Amino acid sequence: MNIEGSIALVTGANRGLGRHFAVQLLERGAAKVYATARDPQTIDVPGVTSLALDITDPDAVAAAVAAAPDVTLLINNAGVTTGADLVTGDLDAIRREIDTNFYGPLATIRAFAPVLAANGGGAILNVNSRMSWVSYPGANAYGAAKAAAWSLTNGARMELADQGTQVTGLYLSATDTDMMAGWDIPKNDPADVVRQALDGIEAGADEVLADQDTIEAKAALAG
């Protein structure tokens, strides 16, 4: 997948990793970048095409497909964390995490897969997490949702192979974005994470492991 000349759509592009994706895609020569957010007025990246998109709203997803029929690269970045645990946490918060972090990317993949096929195959990047493989008090609903997103990424890769669509999963530990603002721990530079992710797309990687903690967590799964 070549970034240069591609037509990309980024979910959750108004801040954090999503904003960095929009900026770096343009820097790498993407012909067009659809930058999406629930409120497109919060998107401030010069040169993008702003679109309203709530990935948990089927009508909004359908409208985005209608507005962006030329997409060749889908970046599933939008996500949420509520701090909910599974046994004692608020069920509505848990459902919100599953809806946003699993059903949301599933909805965009299902909706844009025919578009990608019609445009030559293209690629999808799912922004997942080291929490796909780790449980941690205060983030167990997030971990469950991201574990499901890991399985979604692997399953979609198999199902879309015949139409020539590449599916890459990005896995990362704590990164310096608004989502992690309340955590006083070492954090990745989001610009570096995005650079690795885009390098991985161009290299045809199935997975991009963005830092040493994530590499070690994946390697430890068999234990």
CATH number of the domain enclosing 109? 3.40.50.720
- Is residue 194 one of the residues assigned to a domain? yes
Q: Which domain holds residue 186?
A: 7-219
- Is residue 77 one of the residues assigned to a domain? yes
pLDDT at 81: 92
Distance CA 152, CA 143 (A): 14
Q: What is the pLDDT along the chain (223 residues), one digit of tens a residue?
A: 999 999 999 999 998 899 999 999 999 999 999 999 999 999 999 999 999 999 999 999 999 999 999 999 999 999 999 999 999 999 999 999 999 999 999 999 999 999 999 999 999 999 999 999 999 999 999 999 999 999 999 999 999 999 999 999 999 987 556 665 565 666 768 899 999 999 999 999 999 999 999 999 999 998 8
Q: Which pair of structure tokens corresponds to residue 97?
A: 């995490």
- Is residue 177 one of the residues assigned to a domain? yes
- Is residue 1 one of the residues assigned to a domain? no
Instruction: Specify the length of the chain in residues.
Output: 223
- Is residue 147 one of the residues assigned to a domain? yes
Q: 32 forms bridges with which residues in the sheet?
A: 7
Q: Which residues of 20-48 are buried (b: 16+ CB within 10 A; e: fewer)?
A: bbbbbbbebebebbbbbbbebeebebeeb
pLDDT at 173: 83
pLDDT at 177: 62
Q: Which residues contact 196 (CB under 8 A, 6 or more apart)?
A: 170, 208, 210
Q: 175 forms bridges with which residues in the sheet?
A: 188
pLDDT at 190: 87
pLDDT at 223: 81
Number of domains in the chain: 1
- Is residue 69 one of the residues assigned to a domain? yes
- Is residue 2 one of the residues assigned to a domain? no
